[in-house]
Amino acid sequence: MESLNMATTLIVNIGEFFTGDLKEPVGDVTSVRIDGDRITALNPPADTVRDRTIDAHGSAVMPGVIDGHVHPVFGEWTPTQNTIGWIGNYVHGGTTSMVSAGELHVPGLDYNNLTPELMTSLALLAKATTGRVRWGGAKVHAGTLLMVPGMTEEKFDKVSAAGTILTKFLFYPLAPENREEALRYVGWCHDRGLRVKVHTGGVSRSGSNAVCGYETLSWLQPDIAAHISGGPIPMPDDDLDALVDHTEFALEICSSGNYRSAIRAVERLAKAGRLDRLTLGTDTPGGTGVLARGMLRNMTFLSSVCGLSAGEVIAVATGNTAKAHGLDTGMLKPGMPADLVIAGRIDGSAGTTLTEAIEHGDLPGISTVMIDGQLVVSGRSEQTPPPQERATIELTYGCPFCA
């Protein structure tokens, strides 16, 4: 970590530039100016006065990856696998922001006795602890409210005041007799700017949620249908097709699911010209374990197997996922936070560029990860092989050891 809080940084010699914007995923950009924590110019004048120069040596720059579905518990400890340090490792896999889909893996939590008070307390505790600290530099949006029957509007006030951004129907019995209350919850969330996510498909690791498919989602109208290809069990194919064809909200694909269902959903969305609805996550840790390169694996899968271009899949994993969750990040343009990854083709990969490697299904090699203008990974990632060309950092003034 470094202390150039308000410094001007210029990234130069960019070979490929991915915007994170699905409408125009690749840009003709060879340099980026960053002032403090924000991007202030693309292709600034070459003689721009700066404190620091990052030479990309022809490698690619893309927005920091956003994992739209993680399950933190206590900081970087994931009790399900009894491992530690997962968030920092995810940052080395290019993930700069992550959104909790609920802190349900707390040891000893009794899924058969989840009261409104307990679930609200759990969200507040997670927000005040895991969600308070930048673990490994990452922006972790924790404190997701897992809704249960009998909640009053005051509970939504409390989590909203604490800074929660997401609520989720997971344990909630989405049966016809509860429809009125569930829709009231959705209204209360939207009144406060909280996004609503719903567990879809079969029963989760907890073993205590109901099956959720097209019928429920069509009346509930959440903001995001979680892991539509399974988390871990997908909804039936007909439901998946109807979801793509007859709804408008965001549809999430996670590593936890069924690959065949993922191909079906992604190909159908692409054919309909609706990739703007697609978001990505890992649904890890939890039952699926820790996947430090999980987001990169999802991206190479969607590109090499489901046919998305490298630019499209990067936009899905960054701009799309940020937008669906209301995050102020995910695109590289002036005014946006400097959350970015410098990566390249790994020696031995297919093709000659990162685009060609990703479209062949090959993992990118990461050399640099920046969050809010701060270098959190430099030199090389501990989680990917090094890229052929590594970005180097040069200070205009001062001590090279501070970089």
Residue type, position 58, single letter: G
Q: What is the DSSP letter of 362?
A: P
Is residue 240 a contact residue for Zn ion (CB under 5 A)? Answer: no
Residue with tokens 């399974």: 230
- Nearest-approach distance from CB 283 to Zn ion, in angstroms: 4
Stretch that binds Zn ion, among 6-14, 98-106, 241-249, 264-272 (CB under 5 A): 98-106
Helical packing angle, 294-304 and 259-271, nearest 10°: 60
- Classify 100 as helix, strand or coil: strand
Q: 274 to 313, contacts with Zn ion by CB under 5 A?
A: 283
239/283 with CB nearer Zn ion: 283
The minimum distance between CB 324 and Zn ion, in angstroms, equals: 15
Q: How far is the CB of 375 from Zn ion (least distance, A)?
A: 31
Please state whether beta strands 8-12 and 32-35 pair in parallel, antiparallel, or not at all (unpaired). antiparallel
Nearer to Zn ion, 92 or 199 (CB): 199
Torsion (CA) 52, 55, 61, 63 in degrees, nearest 10: -20
Taking the C-alpha atoms of residue 184 and residue 120, their distance in angstroms, rounded to an integer, is: 17
Residue 32 or 65 with smaller CB distance to Zn ion: 65
Is residue 285 reached through a cis peptide bond, with omega within 30 degrees of 0 on the bond before it? yes
Residues numbered 136-155 forming contacts with Zn ion, rule: CB under 5 A? none
Residue 231: phi and psi, rounded to 5, are -150, 65
DSSP states along 257-292: S-HHHHHHHHHHHHHTT-GGGEEEE--BTTTT---T
Measured from the CB atom, the residue of 101 and 198 that comes closer to Zn ion is 101
Q: Which stretch binds Zn ion (CB under 5 A): 99-107, 316-324, 376-384, 385-393?
A: 99-107
Q: Which range touches Zn ion (CB under 5 A), out of 84-92, 100-108, 293-301, 323-331? A: 100-108
Closest contact distance (angstroms) between CB of 68 and Zn ion is: 10
Least CB distance to Zn ion at residue 97 (A): 17
95 closest CA partner among 399, 388, 376, 360: 376
Show Cβ contacts of residue 266 under 8 Å, excluding neighbours closer than 6 positions.
253, 278, 302, 306, 308
Nearer to Zn ion, 101 or 292 (CB): 101
Min CB(101)–Zn ion separation in Å: 4
- Binding residues for Zn ion, rule CB under 5 A, total 2
Question: In whole angstroms, how close is the CB of 204 to Zn ion at the nearest point?
Answer: 7
Check binding of 101 to Zn ion (CB under 5 A): yes
For the bound state, the minimum distance from the C-beta of residue 286 to Zn ion, rounded and expressed in Å, comes to 6
Closer residue to Zn ion (CB): 27 or 230: 230
Binding letters toward Zn ion, positions 55-94, x by CB under 5 A: ----------------------------------------
Encoded tokens for 71: 């399950």
Q: Which is nearer to Zn ion, 103 or 372 (CB)?
A: 103
Cβ neighbours of residue 135 closer than 8 Å, sequence gap 6 or more: 75, 76, 87, 88
In the complex with Zn ion, which residue's Cβ is closer, 8 or 256? 256
Question: Which residue ranges make up the site for Zn ion (CB under 5 A)?
Answer: 101, 283
